[in-house]
Structure 1
Amino acid sequence: MTTTTPKGAPHPLRAEALRGFPPLAGAAVIVLIAVLMIATARKWQGNWAETADQLHDSLLMILPVAAAAGCWRGGRERRRRTEELWSTAVRPPLTRLLAQAVPVALWVAAGYLLVIACAAVATWRYALGDHPHLILVPGDTVALMAAAVVGHVVGRTVHSMLTAPLLGVAGFAGLAAAVPHGDVQPLDPASFAVKGSWPVWWQPLAMTAWTLGLAVALTLVCAARRRATALVPLAAALTAGVLLVQGGDGTWRPDPLLRRQVCDTSTTPAICVNAQYGRLLPQVTTALSGVTGKLQGIQGLPARWADRENGPRTDEAQLPIVTPFGWSLVRGRLTRPDRYAWEAAAALSDRGQCERPSERVSLADGAVLTYLAPSPDQSEYDAVMAKGSAADRAHLRADQAARAKLATMDEQRRRTWLSAYFTARAVCDDKAVPSL
């Protein structure tokens, strides 16, 4: 004898999904991630890679929440004391379990995806290059759903009002403990993304099989009539786990954009920024316009300012670093163009591996830096030195005299002097640096 749902009656899954606790679980996930993202907006807003990393890292907090929400849902019938009534239902145990577990999993996943969509809109307005990184989203979403289902099974099995909060605390502690251990880290769906890298194409699929396989296997063991069927998803989960562990760091590949430069060759030196935020180049060019305007016709300069992952090459100067975002670069804008220009000018006179310069050369370095881009803190520095010891005051007078002499030179003489200065700097020849 079979049973049918009366015509026009809502499906049990729909009723379970639209009422009571599942929507609240989804709302809790939305609020938690939204608070985290808003608090760190200066760091990620305007950069697709940082946005993806921040959303993925939030799993450390919301995976335990999803498991606790599923666990609380799993203990509903026990709290209502309707377990015996449910046991007399015609539907099989597996169907009854899924009808209660799936709504929480769907709402948790929907909340996470909604925050991802909102974060993408917030990033799009200020993005400086790159493209949305969605490769981690499927695996992260499935991991959240799996955590909710596993939590539901635990809630049905363990009869205690404290099971849900204890499961959440234990889950958070377990994920946090797994982060620094390389042996198990590939199996951790909340492990921190490798900065500047993205997973190979099969890593999210393996992570999905790992988390979902364990959740399905545990569900079948708990409620299926033929528990041996749990061996199939368990085998899939173990196979995926072996692939993840054996892959290790090999499951991540460097972001190719980090190795590319976007350049403006109309200036002297040329200005090259990392391709990951290539649309920042016009701002950088404008910020350095005061420096590059004073370097026209000067010999011995580096070929370009560059922002490379492993530092500048021999014919390059280091472009001021804008990472981590949230300090010198916020929401796609340079916060202190004057300081940025000063740091870029300082990189031109950086002597790298050269020996420590003499007092005469140090005065020349300070004069050149002040001429190209005065420090925003120069007046404060001078005031401190003026109140210092006799040696400090003597050094300040010599420094001011050198700055004044370079600033008052006629254009042709200053160009000749600067050419000799930068040519000597390039070969670490302090003796060839002209005096002021």
Structure 2
Amino acid sequence: MTARAVLLELRRGTGVVLLAALAAVGSLMSVMAAVSADRQTAWSGSGPGVVSWLNTAGLLLGPIAAAAGAWVGGRERRLGVQELLAAVPKARWRRDLAGFGALGAAVAGGLALVAVLVAATVLPAFSYGGGRWPLSALLVLLGCVACLAIGFGIGRLVPHRWTAPVVALGVYLLSGVPTYLDSGVAQLAPVSNLPAGDGQRLRLAVAALAVGWLVGLSATAFLIGSARRRGWAGLPALMAILVAVPLALLPVGWNGNSYSAAWTEPDPDAMARVCSTGTPTVCLNAVHAALLPAVTELARPILAELPPDSVAAEQGVEHPAERPTTAAGELAIPFLEGRAAWFSAELRDPERLRTELAQSFLRPWCTDQTGVVDRAYDLAITLVPAGRGAGEPGGDQLSARLRADPAARRAWLASYLDAGRRCDLATYNALVGR
């Protein structure tokens, strides 16, 4: 009977309109992100990457769901039929549950359509389906349902035609503004606060708290607007408070990939190495394994220009941190999240990555960035053709002499790479002729 009532509510139009609105807005946001210059702010070819974008889109999809909930919640009182419906044997909460269920189905359908669209753009580069992304997707769905319930409850209490847009604006502000405050309160926002991405996965304990908070919030808002005795809302409200306190008190910290360190942990399966055959060897993380042929094609010519007797010249390893924690003899490839071209396993901007590879292979990670270190780095860049586009061509006599003598150039680069690992300022001074 309840399923039939839900289908009836869907046919009445509100659920269909909500589904279409969510799909349209989510698709428009995706297209705008896809054509933007900075592709790395969009999504990647992995389950966590797709869900991460859904979470971002939730900043607008959540308020839309809240507006729909407010409109349906206040419908009976706006139409003046509450007394007529009171004579119907079916309890009010059952009628409300049918309407709310129809909107909930529309929310799930809208998110699913956006997810399918986003996943289709990176399907050829899809490399990894782990990372607890179903749990992340559940939290995104529960967050939008919580917005729907908040709107439904407020709409039932204040059945004005302007309630829907006001509620939408309020949910948008309450979800977006706290994220700029660097406060634990931001972790209670129902949408757009979920940290997820390549190489990371949600901590199960924190995810359990988040599920409890969103379910408690949704049930409280729904019962306040629907139950004849609003005291019934006290139980879910108590549950929401009990889990919200430890959630809000989690430390606000960030790891090297800008994801909340309190919410996430490294995903060892995603970070497992997948290496090319032959030499020089190029290794990527499993989460980006589909890009290995394209990256190998870019990296090997650069590695071949570095000293052949140096282990560091023979391997590139991908790392998510801003400062790579490479082992001895390894050169760091920049983290490749969001680098795949649309509808292919190729790179979106290979020339840019080629320059970044040269910079990363030659960059000295020294805390004492003195002038001599910068000078040595600038000189090293001029000796690798792939890196010259990032800096000055280097026309001084030392650079010209080294470029003209391959043996001397390799010896200089070998000393430079060794000095970079030890941050040996004396060797740097000798290399630049000071």
What TM-score comes out, normalization by structure 2 length? 0.78
Instruction: Supply the distance in 1 between the matched residues of 2:20 and 2:31 (Cα, whole angstroms).
Output: 16
* Residue of structure 1 in register with 2:258 after alignment: none
Q: Secondary structure at the match of 1:134?
A: helix
Q: Deviations over 1:339-375 (max 9, x none)?
A: 54444344444444386449997896366323xx474
The answer as to whether partners of 1:298 and 1:418 remain within 8 angstroms in 2 is no
The answer as to whether partners of 1:75 and 1:159 remain within 8 angstroms in 2 is yes
Classify 1:365/1:100 alpha carbon distance in 2 versus 1 (closer, same or farther; 3 Å). Answer: closer
Classify 1:181/1:345 alpha carbon distance in 2 versus 1 (closer, same or farther; 3 Å). Answer: closer
Instruction: Supply the distance in 2 between the matched residues of 1:69 and 1:78 (Cα, whole angstroms).
Output: 16
Q: Return 41-50 or 348-357, whichever deviates more.
A: 348-357
- 2:28 paired residue among 25, 35, 41: 35
* Residue of structure 2 in register with 1:177 after alignment: 177
In the alignment, is residue 215 of structure 1 matched against residue 218 of structure 2?
yes
Q: Secondary structure at the match of 1:262?
A: strand
- Letter matched to residue 253 of structure 1: E
* Residue of structure 1 in register with 2:296 after alignment: 285
- Letter matched to residue 134 of structure 1: P
Matches for 1:147-162 after TM superposition, within 5 Å: 147-162=147-162
Instruction: Supply the distance in 1 between the matched residues of 2:329 and 2:191 (Cα, whole angstroms).
Output: 39
Instruction: Supply the distance in 1 between the matched residues of 2:45 and 2:211 (Cα, whole angstroms).
Output: 29
Q: Secondary structure at the match of 2:316?
A: strand
Classify 1:293/1:217 alpha carbon distance in 2 versus 1 (closer, same or farther; 3 Å). Answer: closer
- Letter matched to residue 193 of structure 1: L
Classify 1:431/1:215 alpha carbon distance in 2 versus 1 (closer, same or farther; 3 Å). Answer: closer
Instruction: Supply the distance in 1 between the matched residues of 2:378 and 2:92 (Cα, whole angstroms).
Output: 84
The answer as to whether partners of 1:420 and 1:433 remain within 8 angstroms in 2 is no
- Using the TM superposition, give the Cα deviation of residue 312 of structure 1 relative to its aligned residue in structure 2, in angstroms: 4.4
Instruction: Supply the distance in 1 between the matched residues of 2:98 and 2:411 (Cα, whole angstroms).
Output: 80
* Residue of structure 2 in register with 1:236 after alignment: 239
Q: Secondary structure at the match of 1:32?
A: helix
Q: Secondary structure at the match of 2:126?
A: coil
Q: Secondary structure at the match of 2:135?
A: coil
Q: Deviations over 1:92-133 (max 9, x none)?
A: 222232233322222122211232234334333222445472
Matches for 1:16-55 after TM superposition, within 5 Å: 16-41=9-34, 42=39, 43-55=42-54
Q: Secondary structure at the match of 2:283?
A: strand
Instruction: Supply the distance in 2 between the matched residues of 1:116 and 1:363 (Cα, whole angstroms).
Output: 44
- Letter matched to residue 183 of structure 2: G
* Residue of structure 1 in register with 2:125 after alignment: 126
| Percent pairwise identity | 22
* Residue of structure 1 in register with 2:254 after alignment: none
Instruction: Supply the distance in 1 between the matched residues of 2:286 and 2:148 (Cα, whole angstroms).
Output: 39
Larger Rg: 1
Instruction: Supply the distance in 2 between the matched residues of 1:108 and 1:301 (Cα, whole angstroms).
Output: 51
In the alignment, is residue 276 of structure 1 matched against residue 287 of structure 2?
yes
Classify 1:149/1:346 alpha carbon distance in 2 versus 1 (closer, same or farther; 3 Å). Answer: closer
Q: Deviations over 1:16-63 (max 9, x none)?
A: 222222210111111111111222234314344332211112222111
- Letter matched to residue 268 of structure 2: P
Q: Secondary structure at the match of 1:184?
A: helix
Unaligned segments of structure 2, at least 5 residues: 252-260
* Residue of structure 2 in register with 1:410 after alignment: none
The answer as to whether partners of 1:48 and 1:123 remain within 8 angstroms in 2 is no
In the alignment, is residue 166 of structure 1 matched against residue 153 of structure 2?
no
Classify 1:341/1:232 alpha carbon distance in 2 versus 1 (closer, same or farther; 3 Å). Answer: closer
Instruction: Supply the distance in 1 between the matched residues of 2:19 and 2:338 (Cα, whole angstroms).
Output: 30
Aligned residues: 400
* Residue of structure 1 in register with 2:142 after alignment: 142
* Residue of structure 1 in register with 2:383 after alignment: 368
* Residue of structure 1 in register with 2:257 after alignment: none
* Residue of structure 2 in register with 1:391 after alignment: none
What TM-score comes out, normalization by structure 1 length? 0.77
- Using the TM superposition, give the Cα deviation of residue 167 of structure 1 relative to its aligned residue in structure 2, in angstroms: 0.8
- Using the TM superposition, give the Cα deviation of residue 88 of structure 1 relative to its aligned residue in structure 2, in angstroms: 2.6
* Residue of structure 1 in register with 2:266 after alignment: 254
Classify 1:60/1:431 alpha carbon distance in 2 versus 1 (closer, same or farther; 3 Å). Answer: closer
- Letter matched to residue 13 of structure 1: V
The answer as to whether partners of 2:306 and 2:313 remain within 8 angstroms in 1 is no
* Residue of structure 2 in register with 1:387 after alignment: none
Q: Secondary structure at the match of 1:272?
A: strand
Instruction: Supply the distance in 2 between the matched residues of 1:318 and 1:108 (Cα, whole angstroms).
Output: 45
Unaligned segments of structure 1, at least 5 residues: 383-394, 407-413
RMSD of the alignment, in Å?
A: 3.6
Classify 1:19/1:317 alpha carbon distance in 2 versus 1 (closer, same or farther; 3 Å). Answer: same
